[in-house]
Structures are given as structure tokens and as C-alpha cells.
A = this chain, B = another copy of it.
Amino acid sequence: MSIKPVSERTISRMPKYLHYLNNLKENGVDRVSSASIAEALGTTASQVRQDLSAFGSYGAQGYGYSIDRLSAEIKGILGIDTSYRVAIIGIGSLGHALLEHLEFEKYGYHVVAGFDIDCDLIGTEINHVPIYSMDDLADVMKQQEIDICVLTVSRGSAKQVASYLERLGVSAIWNFTNEKLEIGESVAVENIDLIDSLFVLTYYMNRNIEERLLLSQRQRRRVNI
């Protein structure tokens, strides 16, 4: 009913708020103001309140936000107040690492299946997770009631596999392939573009180095004069 589209920027900040609240909670704090949250995350109190009020009124004037309440609300907003079943498609080095990455389990994401085309892997278990043949994808996905697919196949087959997943009615793809998937709106997609991130890091690294160089040249000039 109330179709108020919340900006992507706002959504992407919600996990940051949650992590900070978890932090405070661990330190025995039980309430917090928008100003404190803002300071911790390097933003403004205005933005924090603006973000939160996109979803509801969780605070109290003169008091701030109850950490328990706000945590619960954000978890509800993101939908992480329940658990999900995850499959990893493509067990290369990255897929393998994600199979063993314990953090996911902690947040309620249960990795329950892996898929690959390598006969040496099919039928084995990694970290107690069975590896199936790509040929069994349709069957296993249904049987295992997979919610989220992690796409760690090679770049060459990414688009094809993604389209197949779409046809199978998958609702979420976590895409590590660095390929822009051509897929309908009905599938949620988040991209982890490692190489792109590394390129951006390189840009800022070099910019810093250039700045330092310019600075030291200026200093040297000053000494010479």
C-alpha cells in the first residue's frame, strides 16, 4: 500500500547503523542519539534521522533511540530477523572461501549446497556442505529450498548461469563475477566487483602519492630559495 520508495543510499547505510548499534550493545550501552550515531559513522545527525524516518518513528524526543528497539527495527527492515538458505554456484577459490566463511552462519545465512562442473568435486563435501553437479541445479534448488544464490562461476559462464537461475525462479543473486547480469527486475542482484574496487583503490593511492610528491617539491623549492 504505502509505496514510498526509499533511496539506495539510505538502504546501504542501514547495515552501518546496525553494526554500530551492535557495538554499543556489546559495551553495555542501551540508548543513543542521532548525533552520536552520526559522529561514529562520519555523517550528520540530520542524515541519520532522515534515513530512519523513511521507515518509521523509532526514537523519542529528549531521549534518543533505544538500542534494542532500533536494532530490532533495522533487522526487520532489512529482513535479517530470520534465516536464509544459500547455495554457492561455482566452487573455485572464491566460492570455496565463501563456503568456509563462518561469518555468514552467524547472521543466519546457512550455506547448504555448492555446485560445480568439476567431477572431482561433485559428490564431495566441503565444510559439511555437499557439492552437486550443475546438472542437478533445478532439482536441488527446489529440494533444498534455496533463497539466495552466490554466483562465483567463471566470468565466461556468468550471464548464462544467471539467466538459468532466473528461469528457475531464484529471488536473489549475490554476484561475484564482475559481469553485468542481464536479468529481470524480479531477481534481486547485488554485485561484488573486486577488480573494480581494486582499481578505485589504486586511483586514490596514486593521487595521494602525487600529492605528497608535489608537497615535497614545494618544500624543496622553499629550501633552495
Contacts and interface: CB of A to CB of B under 8 A. Distances in A.
A186 B216 CA distance: 14
A147 interface: yes
Interface string A157-199: 0000000000000011010001010000111111011111111
A188 B171 contact: no
B94 A206 contact: no
A28 to B, nearest CB: 18
The DSSP consensus for interface residues of chain A is: helix
A208 interface: yes
Contacts of A18: 199
A203 B77 CA distance: 7
A142 interface: no
Interface in A89-124: 93-94, 96-98, 100-101, 103-104, 107, 109
A193 to B, nearest CB: 7
Nearest to A107: B195
A225 interface: no
A187 B202 CA distance: 11
Contact of A15 (B16, B101, B199): B199
A9 to B, nearest CB: 11
Contact of A202 (B94, B172, B207): B172
Interface of A: 11-12, 14-16, 18-19, 41-42, 77-80, 84, 93-94, 96-98, 100-101, 103-104, 107, 109, 147-148, 171-172, 174, 178, 180, 185-190, 192-209, 212
Given A15-B193, A19-B178, A186-B212, 13 more contacts: A14-B203, A78-B200, A78-B203, A80-B199, A107-B198, A148-B202, A148-B205, A172-B201, A172-B204, A174-B198, A188-B205, A190-B200, A192-B192
